[in-house]
């Protein structure tokens, strides 16, 4: 018996069964539908991409997996070289893991140990955003601010070591002034807070965060598990403001195989580097650097560059703005668009009840959450397909 995610199993609606998938299309036994969710924002090249399929197939004939403890291999070496070239500045040191949550755990562990290695034992607190989402494991839930996890607060009482701030500069300045001696890091989903409700904010907030982190010696972590690889209309938000630690996941492998990476800059890496074994980073997921995942991730990044995905994302944004222009309804609070993400926030989540089935019957897979109806489509989507997705969203309000 399968225990499905985020569901009350007793009242859950039967999930749609997928028997095939190609391009932006998912095939059920009854119909084809466009995946407007990109399988939780990961399948940026669409399904059954010939280049990515070939990358997996050719690697599987060599070996699928060997551990990175005491062993290494060409796919992981090539991917880390590629990331070093592809990522901005001195974000050069790639620690691989099997999921975004684990990669965030690694980032938080790195930030804490960085200061412990320097003997700064009072820096045990983390600053994060209100409405933050950083994953489902325990520490990521703690730095997150998702109402679904407030049972953790009920069980454990107040959060002692995490401080939340809204995306407003005065509140940020105040938090730094008050807590800077105890902070090891400030972790953010830059520009776009995904699972917290597709909240978008301005780059000036992150530029100020960078200044404050430098002023007070606090590490800045960008969780770009969702925003990385173009989703905000920037390759990475880290291209605009550089963090000390960058976390990538979801689209890293084009959605083929679960994998993620925590990338440290020179300063963080040097905080661990030396002769003392106690200063080493003590982490090592069994499947880190999986050869199939690394092979497909490398090809995914090559495709992203060679086929100029940034212009594809720009086109998606242009079409979305054109199609959503002037669209309004008394039940809608706001329509927000950023890069390859569009969110229609409604005033009451009840308004979206039944939308998933409505969309399914029109050939679109959608998965609204909280007050958000949204689309984060695969970047290879055609104009006609994208218009179909947006028309379906608008049709719900007619």
Contact residues: ligand PLP, CB under 6 A: 99-101, 104, 133-135, 189, 194-195, 223, 225-226, 249-250
Active site residue 216: no
Q: Which of 114, 115, 133, 374 is catalytic?
A: 133
Closest contact distance (angstroms) between CB of 138 and ligand PLP is: 13
CB of 172 to ligand PLP, least distance (A): 19
Task: Please state the closest distance from residue 330 (CB atom) to ligand PLP, in A.
Answer: 31
> CB under 8 Å to 360, separation ≥6 — which residues?
16, 31, 33
Q: Report helix angle 291-306 to 74-86, nearest 10.
A: 40
Is the CB of 104 or the CB of 293 nearer to ligand PLP? 104
Which is the catalytic residue, given 35, 98, 145, 223?
A: 223
CA gap 234, 239 in Å, rounded: 7
Residues whose CB falls within 8 Å of the CB of residue 15, separated by 6 or more in sequence, listed in order: 4
Sheet holding 219-223, edge to edge: 93-97, 260-264, 245-248, 219-223, 183-188, 125-129, 162-165
Supply the angle between the helices 291-306 and 309-324 in degrees, to the nearest 10. Answer: 70
Q: How far is the CB of 286 from ligand PLP (least distance, A)?
A: 15
Please identify which residue in the block is written with the tokens 């074994």.
277
Report the residue number whose CB is nearest to ligand PLP: 100
82 or 250: CB nearest ligand PLP: 250
Q: How far apart are CA 129 and CA 186, in angstroms?
A: 9
Q: Which is nearer to ligand PLP, 75 or 285 (CB)?
A: 285
Which residue, 133 or 396, is less far from ligand PLP as judged by CB? 133
Closer residue to ligand PLP (CB): 99 or 117: 99
Query: Smaller CB distance to ligand PLP: residue 45 or 134?
Result: 134
**Residue 14 CA, distance from chain mean position:** 27
Structure-token pair, residue 283: 């982490």
Nearer to ligand PLP, 145 or 189 (CB): 189
d(CA 77, CA 83) in angstroms, rounded, equals: 10
Judge whether 6 counts as a catalytic residue. Answer: yes
Least separation in angstroms between residue 254's CB and ligand PLP is: 14
Element (H, E) at 139: helix 138-143
**Torsion angle of C-alpha atoms 4, 8, 12, 15, degrees rounded to 10:** -20
For the question of residue 125 being annotated catalytic, the response is: no
| Burial letters 294-316, b for 16+ CB under 10 A, else e | bbbbbbbbebbeeeebbebbeeb
Q: Which of 250, 299, 312, 388 is catalytic?
A: 250
185 DSSP β-pair partners: 126, 219
Smallest distance, ligand PLP to C-beta of residue 331, A: 27
Contact (Cβ atoms closer than 8 angstroms) between residue 219 and residue 111: yes
Could you confirm whether 82 is annotated as catalytic? no
DSSP symbol at 187 = E
6, 10, 17, 61: the active-site residue? 6
Tell the burial category of 184 from Cβ atoms under 10 Å away from its Cβ (0-12, 13-18, 19+). buried
CB of 279 to ligand PLP, least distance (A): 27
Q: Which residues are catalytic?
A: 6, 133, 223, 250
């Amino acid at each position: 018996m399968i225990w499905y995610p985020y569901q009350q199993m007793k009242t859950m609606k039967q999930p749609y069964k997928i028997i095939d998938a190609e391009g932006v299309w998912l095939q059920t036994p009854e119909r084809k539908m466009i995946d407007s969710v990109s399988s939780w924002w990961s399948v940026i090249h669409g399904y059954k991409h010939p280049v990515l399929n070939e990358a997996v197939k050719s690697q599987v004939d060599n070996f699928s997996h060997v551990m990175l403890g005491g062993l290494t291999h060409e796919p992981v070496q090539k991917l880390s070289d590629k990331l070093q070239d592809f990522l901005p500045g001195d974000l050069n040191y790639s620690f691989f893991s099997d999921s975004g949550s684990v990669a965030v755990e690694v980032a938080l562990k790195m930030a804490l140990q960085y200061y412990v290695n320097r003997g700064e034992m009072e820096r045990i607190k983390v600053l994060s955003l209100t409405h933050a989402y950083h994953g489902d494991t325990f520490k990521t839930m703690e730095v997150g601010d998702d109402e679904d996890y407030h049972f953790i607060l009920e069980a454990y009482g107040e959060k002692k070591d995490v401080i939340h701030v809204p995306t407003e500069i005065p509140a940020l300045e105040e938090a730094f002034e008050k807590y800077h001696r105890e902070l090891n890091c400030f972790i953010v989903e830059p520009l776009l807070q995904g699972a917290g409700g597709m909240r978008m904010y301005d780059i000036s907030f992150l530029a100020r965060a960078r200044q404050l982190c430098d002023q007070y010696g606090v590490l800045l972590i960008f969780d770009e598990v969702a925003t990385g690889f173009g989703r905000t209309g920037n390759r990475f938000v880290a291209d605009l403001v550089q963090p000390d630690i960058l976390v990538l996941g979801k689209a890293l492998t084009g959605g083929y195989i679960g994998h993620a990476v925590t990338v440290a800059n020179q300063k963080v890496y040097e905080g661990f580097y030396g002769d003392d074994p106690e200063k080493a980073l003590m982490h090592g997921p069994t499947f880190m650097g999986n050869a199939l995942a690394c092979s497909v991730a490398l090809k995914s990044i090559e495709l992203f560059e060679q086929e100029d995905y940034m212009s594809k994302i720009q086109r998606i944004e242009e079409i979305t703005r054109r199609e959503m222009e002037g669209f309004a309804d008394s039940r809608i609070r706001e329509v927000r668009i950023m890069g390859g993400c569009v969110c229609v926030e409604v005033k009451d989540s009840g308004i979206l009840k039944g939308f998933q089935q409505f969309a399914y019957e029109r050939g679109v897979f959608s998965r609204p959450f909280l007050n958000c109806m949204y689309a984060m489509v695969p970047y290879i989507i055609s104009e006609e397909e994208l218009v179909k997705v947006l028309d379906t969203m608008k049709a719900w309000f007619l």
